[in-house]
A and B are shown apart, each in its own frame.
Chain A
Amino acid sequence: MSIVDVPVESTGAIQAGQREVRRDLLRGLSKSPMFIIGAVVLLFWIVCAIFGPTIAPHDPLVQNLEAINRSPSSSHWFGTDQLGRDVFSRVIVGVRDVMIIAPLATLLGTVLGTIIGLVMGYYRGLVDDTLGRFVEAFLALPLVVTGLIALSTLGRSNLVLIIVIGVLFTPLIARTVRAAVLLERELDYVSAARLRGERGPYIMFVEILPNVFAPIMVEFTVRLAYAIFAILTLTFLGVGVQPPTADWALDISANFGVVPAGYWWEVTFAAIAIITLIVAVTLISDSIQATLEDQ
């Protein structure tokens, strides 16, 4: 959705310099309260994703048709849903699929986008123009809409979800990487490598790539928040994670019809969980961005 402009200070492809930058980044982040809050909340959800079934007081999938739509009580902290399942347990376990799909999809998009962005920015000319047209055509469709058509025709599974979101992120990331590469390719170390007789792929991946690492990392964290957004939205629309998995968006989509009858707990806790996760990721990505800009 956005291009993040990060000033790219080229230090040349010196390994020690890179390590220095990374150490400074970590030092800067450890002083940022926003980053610490975000990291703590994210850590909490990671723990839930890994140990969820052990932590949860009830089996999130077990139905109890004698205790449906019960309001929150001491035995069911967040109440029960239309099938009598324990909402608290479903919220704890419900983070798991998003936590697996979002990073993998973002990683796929980042790798593909980086390769295409490097090629577009380095070779420019016809390659750049042709790919650029396709990128623009892709961007004319809202991600949710393209995702909806792709998932409903290609089949609904977590693997397809990862591939579709990864591919849809590719043009956006490619655009950011291309912009950074256009700045880098004019610098002396690139001309030097060219004069040495290095080939295109070597210059792109060995010389330029380490120097555009910062904007790619920022892009990754920003995209991660949007990947969560997209996965949850597509799941809500019925084409993402499939039932009976315990999943926040799935639970909201299955139960929002009974909210007017007063069963607010069946959707509200999942909605709050989503907000905490997304705000945490946003805080982390914002503080990384701010720390990099300060340097």
Chain B
Amino acid sequence: MVRFILKRLGLALITLFLLSVIVFLLGQVLPSDPGRSVLGPLADPHAVKALDHQLGVDKPILTQYWNWISNFPGTSTQYQAPIGPILGPALGRSIKLAIFAFIIVVPLGILGGVVSALNYGRPVDKTISIVGQSALTIPEFVSGIILIVIFAVELKWLPVSATAPPGSGFFTQVKYLILPVIPLVLILFGYIARMARVGTVEALDSDYARTAILKGLPRGVVIRRHVLRNSLLPTITVVATQTGYLIGGLVVIETLFRYNGIGLLTYNAANQHDIPMLEACVLTIGVVYMVVTLIADISFSLLNPRIRLRAAE
């Protein structure tokens, strides 16, 4: 088991290194003239040179990479301040939004998938599949803007912004987060429901489920004790792999609802040409995703004796 975890950690470190190389290449190496692209075509050549020097892009590539990674996260060109103290709290606020989305969508998605599977091939199943599949591919800003028009502007039930006034209580904060969370829930619902459906259909079809039915167990007991236990494990790992897409969605949702998280920070960095900030945000997002999948992987194998025992061999 320990060996399995160590191996997973080692692989994660290699992936992390490659990830940092990709971000570094995209941010600093591929653009032919970073100073110029920040300052624009009309800028003074001296200013461009000075900025290139400040960014360190006039040095050899390996030195640049080392300077960047050893000073991570570095200094924002937009705020002229260290990135860490800005990025940290923003990440915290995004995690709050993400957790809220997961709390709503995981039970809902699993329920949708299981109901679908139990009604395999019937209209209920088809409806859930089509709704889920369509929701999966509608961009968050589209569902978000329609929700704003209906619930915030026309009906005036919910606020347009996602940020509650400072010092407001728990329920007020939740009220402000409801609209931003729905588009994220819509996207994830389709995916989780599909996984739960596939898992449940497979488990229902298995020999142990048939045995349980044939030995006379009530349908409810078979489903609860034999089917769900086996079908939900893979679904839960899939939920973890969705974190990345959820963060991608956060960039859009935080922009649309002006919510001060890592998504809005990434958006502003991209549109203000704040390359160090952009690189820091992107790498942080990658790291968060990898940590979550790693935890999910390890806890999945701890929960599932089939993997635990195979790894111990």
Binding site for B on A (CB under 8 A): 1-2, 133-134, 136-146, 148-155, 225-226, 228-229, 232-233, 236-239, 249, 252-253, 256, 259-260, 262, 264, 267-268, 271-272, 274-275, 278-279, 281-282, 286
Contacts and interface: CB of A to CB of B under 8 A. Distances in A.
A267 B145 contact: yes
Contacts of A228: 137
B104 interface: no
Interface residues of B, number: 56
B289 A140 contact: yes
A155 B37 CA distance: 8
A226 B252 CA distance: 15
B18 A134 contact: yes
Give chain A's interface secondary structure class. helix
A282 B134 contact: yes
Interface in B178-215: 191, 194
B153 A148 contact: no
Give chain B's interface secondary structure class. helix
B142 A153 contact: no
Given A137-B15, A142-B244, A233-B141, A148 B251 contact: yes
A233 B140 contact: yes
A257 B17 CA distance: 40
A256 to B, nearest CB: 6
B15 A136 contact: yes
Contact of B145 (A134, A146, A150, A268): A268
B145 A144 contact: no
A152 B270 contact: yes
Nearest to B133: A282
Contacts of B39: none
Interface in B108-158: 130, 133-134, 136-142, 145-146, 148-149, 152-154
B138 A274 contact: yes
11 contacts: A140-B15, A141-B285, A141-B286, A145-B251, A149-B278, A256-B256, A259-B149, A260-B153, A271-B146, A279-B134, A282-B133
B301 interface: no
Given A140-B290, A145-B248, 14 more contacts: A141-B285, A144-B251, A149-B26, A149-B27, A226-B137, A228-B137, A233-B141, A236-B255, A237-B267, A237-B271, A259-B145, A259-B148, A281-B137, A286-B133
A64 B134 CA distance: 37
B261 interface: no
